[in-house]
Each structure stands twice: as structure tokens, then as C-alpha cells.
């Protein structure tokens, strides 16, 4: 092959690589989304005000994150969520990606919303999906939320033996996160389990 032909092929390859690289580049995160996420844990009401006052993101990834955060803020405040249509936008976006944390979060709130809508089988499937994804992360707060939600769902369905194992995992996540409130909640959940089993001495210990 002539040197000029090789040069042309290399040039074409470089141009194509640049094109596809640019097409996959993520948009810079919107400052409103960053602020909302930063205050979500302690002040979900403030997070919701930020999210509802900002322009609707047009970028698909940022729109998915907006849908996830709005659902999270409403869920944490026990505000009415009439359907899973909003969180489903986030779930469908993150599902085929490698973002385990966002996949776990969107599956968690798909489970939580469907649980409140009394769609128990559907909720269980999403919680189990969230459990698989959160194990791929080091987000211990999220791990606690997934496990405690799944454990309470098991108690609701009278699957008490499954619940104890899950609540233990929730406690382990809380310890790793050094979150005393979550540790106390986990111990309370396990006390509730033993109370249901009529093992009151063990319940009192927890």
C-alpha cells in the first residue's frame, strides 16, 4: 500500500474517532441539579423547590436525573405520587447504562412508588433489582435505603425469615456509613421482626 493511502486511512480513522467521541461526551451537569442533590439528604423540601423552579432539562441524561431527583424529594416528604411515570423515565434511561448507582436509585424509587400504590409484586421486583445494583457501589446510604425498604416489604408480605437477613444487611450498611440514625432504625426493624416471631426477649435486646 502506498504511504499516502495509509496516511488517508489514518486520517479518516482519527476523524471518525473524534466524531464518535464527541457524540458520547456527557453534558456538563446543571448547577441546579447539583445543588438539589447536595441538599437532598437533609432538606428534601429545599431540593424540590430548586428542581421545580428550574427550566426543564432538554438533555436526556439531565432530564433523567431531574425525574429521579424530583421523585426522590417527593418520596422523602411522603408527598402524593399518583403513578410511576416520572421515575420510569429515569429508570428506562439508566437501565442500559453502566451507572450502577443511578440504576440502583431509580430501581429503589420504582419499588417505593409501586409499594405505595399497593403494587406489591411489582415493587418487590424493583427492590430486588436495586439490591443487585447497589452491591456494585460504595454508596452505603443507598444500600441501607434499599435493604430497609425491601425488609419492610417482606414484613408486609409476611416473609419474615427473608426480612431478618435483609435488615441485617441494612444494619451493616448503616455501620459502614457511620450513620447512627440508620443503625438505630435497623435495630428497631430487627426488634420488630423478633416481636412478630413472638421472641420478645430477643426483641427487647435489639
Query: Which CATH class name applies to 138-206?
Result: mainly alpha
SS3 197: coil
With cut-offs at 50, 70 and 90, classify the pLDDT of residue 24: very low
* Domain residue ranges of the chain, discontinuous segments joined by +: 30-137, 138-206
Structure pTM? 0.84
Q: Over the stretch 118-141, which tens digit does the pLDDT of each residue have?
A: 999 999 999 999 999 999 999 999
Residues 6+ apart with CB under 8 A from 130: 104, 105, 107, 108, 111, 146, 150
Q: Are 66 and 51 in contact (CB under 8 A)?
A: yes
Q: Over the stretch 75-92, which tens digit does the pLDDT of each residue have?
A: 999 999 999 999 999 999
User: For 121-138, b where at least 16 C-beta lie within 10 A, e where not — what string?
Assistant: ebbbebbebbbebbeebe
**Range name among 1-5, 47-51, 125-129 with the lowest pLDDT average:** 1-5
Closest CA relative to residue 149, chosen from 129, 127, 132: 127
Question: From CA 182, how far away is CA 203, in angstroms rounded?
Answer: 18
Amino acid at each position: 500500500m502506498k504511504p499516502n493511502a495509509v496516511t488517508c486511512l489514518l486520517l479518516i480513522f482519527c476523524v471518525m474517532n473524534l466524531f464518535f467521541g464527541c457524540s458520547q461526551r456527557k453534558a456538563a451537569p446543571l448547577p441546579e441539579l447539583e445543588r438539589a442533590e447536595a441538599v437532598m439528604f437533609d432538606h428534601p423540601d429545599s431540593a424540590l423547590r430548586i428542581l421545580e423552579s428550574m427550566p426543564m432539562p432538554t438533555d436526556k441524561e439531565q432530564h433523567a436525573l431531574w425525574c429521579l431527583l424530583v421523585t426522590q424529594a417527593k418520596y422523602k416528604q411522603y408527598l402524593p405520587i399518583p403513578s410511576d411515570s416520572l421515575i420510569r423515565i429515569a429508570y428506562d434511561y439508566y437501565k442500559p447504562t453502566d451507572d450502577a448507582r443511578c440504576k440502583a436509585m431509580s430501581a429503589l424509587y420504582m419499588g417505593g412508588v409501586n409499594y405505595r400504590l399497593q403494587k406489591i409484586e411489582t415493587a418487590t421486583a424493583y427492590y430486588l433489582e436495586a439490591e443487585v445494583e447497589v452491591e456494585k457501589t460504595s454508596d452505603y446510604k443507598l444500600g441501607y435505603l434499599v435493604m430497609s425498604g425491601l425488609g419492610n416489604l417482606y414484613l408486609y408480605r409476611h416473609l419474615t425469615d427473608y426480612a431478618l437477613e435483609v435488615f441485617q444487611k441494612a444494619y451493616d450498611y448503616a455501620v459502614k456509613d457511620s450513620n447512627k440514625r440508620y443503625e438505630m432504625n435497623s435495630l428497631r426493624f430487627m426488634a420488630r421482626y423478633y416481636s412478630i416471631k413472638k421472641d420478645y426477649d430477643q426483641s427487647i435486646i435489639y
